[in-house]
Amino acid sequence: MTRAAQRLLAIQNALTNISVSDDQKVDNFILPDGAVMTAKADSVSPTNFIHIDGLIVCEYHLLDRTAQLVVSAVGTQFENTASHVPSFQVIEILPSSQVSSPQTSRNDIFVKDMWATVYALFTLYHDQEIIPVVLSQKINNNEELRSYLLRSGLGRTAHAPTASKEEIYLHRATFWQGAGTRGYHNRGWLPPSSFSVAPFPLIPSFTRTPIVISGHPLRPPKPEPGETLFRRFCPSIGETLEFTYFDLRSGSTTSKHLDIFHRWHNSERVNKAWGERGSLEKHRAYITEIMNDPGVLPVIMSWNGEPMGYAEITYLKENHVAPYIPGGPGDWDRSLHVLVGEDKFRGTVRTNLWHRALIHYCFLADPRTESVMGEPKADNPSIIKVDFDSAMHIRTIFDFPYKRSALFCVPRYRFFRMDLL
């Protein structure tokens, strides 16, 4: 066997033998709405429970059969021999009444708890692109939950017309794209105030500045100062990451956001990258200009409520980067400009978490966003490594009047196809 064939075989074996590690847990997992979830996947016991705020919301166990989602081979001679498509153990979901006392038992599962259950499963089995599940007939609202999973896009049935439709194949990619959140419940990563049930309508608009002349869609109104835009618990470090719209309101004193922004930009490390050292009034004017720009969101990033960094999330169509993008940007494509202000929050693990979360937010905020880009200095190896670690690729190298940049890009389909979150 050639070395190339050996490598391919190793990849196939890894994909087809994925299982949760022994006694892996989702312990004290904080959901975006503040509820606390605990789940355990035990390789010995067939029965596992999901608790939310101390109450068992459902039971699940692994059945003694596997299933595979065959798509492109359906209708060909390979339909029944597609061994390259991973097979995964089927999971049955049951109501809490199967395990709870009569005083606390339920025979139905709330939709928001069903979403949390899917969250728990994709946390425990995060390296599976598909999780095949069946909903027990003992669940009173079985049909409601089945309709929810299928209509929201969280799952699908088998592609082959003759295959059993009992299994629902949960998709990791659609789950992380926010399927089953908007319009269903308020437990998702975007707080209810930060999104509309439907995307902002397409209305033509125009930007004319000394460095930009561009037609583009009208952008949504800005959030309220201090409004939370995104919240996600990161189990690898046991902390919650939060993005908040910049708050310049101050009363008789300087706002907290402006104060830390001013301090960060006057540090040697941040100034070397951004070149915005200056007075408090200079920074107030800078942020005011950014907040008045419909195409830019200035965001404070925090760990467990403690500010750690700043980001500008920009629509590319009306940005000065647009002329350098081969083929031009899409109408809803966005870019990132970031800094970590607090030294204690630096490091590879945290950096990968917040960087991928920023990309995640961009894709969640509007389903029409097809790509997220960045344009770091071409000689900045640290941020270039971060971009590569987030599944970005280099589109081109180009020269601004003031720096040489590498244009990095991650398309939506790749970001969610991979196990990055």
For residue 151, give its domain range.
16-176
CB neighbours of residue 306 within 10 Å: 11
At residue 381 the predicted structure's pLDDT band, cuts being 50, 70 and 90, is: very high
Q: Are 329 and 370 contained in the same domain?
A: yes
Q: Is residue 268 part of a domain?
A: yes
Residue 25, Cα to own-chain centre: how many angstroms? Answer: 21
With residue 176 as reference, give the H or E element that holds it: helix 172-176
CB contact burial 26-55 (16+ within 10 A = b; e otherwise): beebbbbeeeebbbbbbeeeeebbbbbeee
**Residue 373 near residue 322, CB atoms below 8 Å:** no
In a shared domain, residues 345 and 316: yes
Is 181 within the bounds of a domain? no
Domain assignment of residue 247, yes or no: yes
Q: Does residue 338 surpass a pLDDT of 60?
A: yes
In the predicted model, what is the mean pLDDT of residues 115-129? 97
Q: How far is residue 384's CA from residue 394's CA, in Å, rounded to a whole number?
A: 9
Residues 323, 234 share a domain: yes
Segment 66-73 mean pLDDT:
94
Please say whether the beta carbons of 345 and 309 come within 8 A: yes
The model's confidence at residue 25, banded by pLDDT at 50, 70 and 90, is confident
Q: 38 versus 1: which is more confidently predicted? A: 38
| E strand map for 42-99 | 47-52, 55-67, 88-95
Q: State how many domains the chain has.
A: 2
pLDDT for the residue numbered 12: 40
According to the model, what pLDDT value does residue 19 have?
Answer: 46
Same domain, 196 and 170: no
Put the strands of the sheet holding 239-245 in their side by side order. 228-234, 239-245, 296-303, 306-315, 334-340, 371-374, 404-411, 393-399
Q: Is residue 411 part of a domain?
A: yes
What pLDDT score was predicted for residue 250?
Answer: 73
Of 119, 145, 176, the residue that ends a domain is 176
Sign of the alpha-carbon dihedral angle for 47, 50, 54, 55: negative
Active site residues: 375
Q: In the chain, what is the straight-line distance between the N-terminal and C-terminal CA atoms, in Å?
A: 35
CA–CA gap between residue 282 and residue 252 (Å, rounded): 18
- Write down the mean pLDDT value for the chain: 91
Average pLDDT over residues 51-74: 94
321 part of a folded domain = yes
Whichever domain contains 374, its CATH number is 3.40.630.30
- Residue 52 is encoded by which pair of tokens? 């939310």
Tens digit of each residue's pLDDT (9 = 90 or more) over 138-174: 999 999 999 999 999 999 999 988 788 899 999 999 9
Q: How far apart are CA 288 and CA 311, in angstroms?
A: 15
Range from 56-60, 105-109, 398-402 carrying the lowest mean pLDDT: 105-109
Are 227 and 278 found together in one domain?
yes
The confidence score (pLDDT) of residue 44 equals: 67
Same domain for 35 and 163: yes
Q: Are strands 239-245 and 228-234 parallel, antiparallel or unpaired?
A: antiparallel
Are residues 161 and 28 part of one domain?
Answer: yes
Q: Report if residue 10 sits inside a domain.
A: no
φ, ψ for residue 12 (rounded to 5)? Answer: -60, -40
The H or E element that residue 260 is part of is: helix 256-265
59, β-bridge pairs: 49, 94
| Cα separation, 60 vs 22, whole angstroms | 16
| The model's pTM | 0.91
Q: What's the average model confidence in pLDDT over 239-257?
A: 90
Same domain for 36 and 143: yes
Confidence of residue 10 (pLDDT cuts 50, 70, 90): very low
For residues 227 and 152, state if they share a domain.
no
Judged by DSSP in three states, 256 sits in helix
What pLDDT, in 10s, does the model give residues 164-204? 889 999 999 999 999 999 999 999 999 987 666 778 999 99
In whole angstroms, what is the distance from residue 209 CA to residue 314 CA? 16
Residue 321 Cα distances to 167, 244, 282, 363, angstroms? 46, 25, 24, 19
Say yes or no: 199 and 171 in one domain. Answer: no
- Answer whether residue 54 is part of any domain: yes
The residue among 130, 145, 176 that closes a domain is: 176
Q: Is a pLDDT exceeding 90 seen at residue 324?
A: yes
Least confident residue range of 21-35, 237-251, 287-301 = 21-35
Residue 182 lies in a domain: no
One domain, residues 64 and 211: no
**pLDDT of res. 3:** 55
- What is the reported pLDDT for 163? 81
Show which of 146, 176, 206 is a domain's final residue.
176
Do 23 and 89 lie in a common domain? yes
Categorize the per-residue pLDDT at 20 as very low, low, confident or very high, splitting at 50, 70 and 90: very low
User: What is the model's pLDDT at position 105?
Assistant: 53
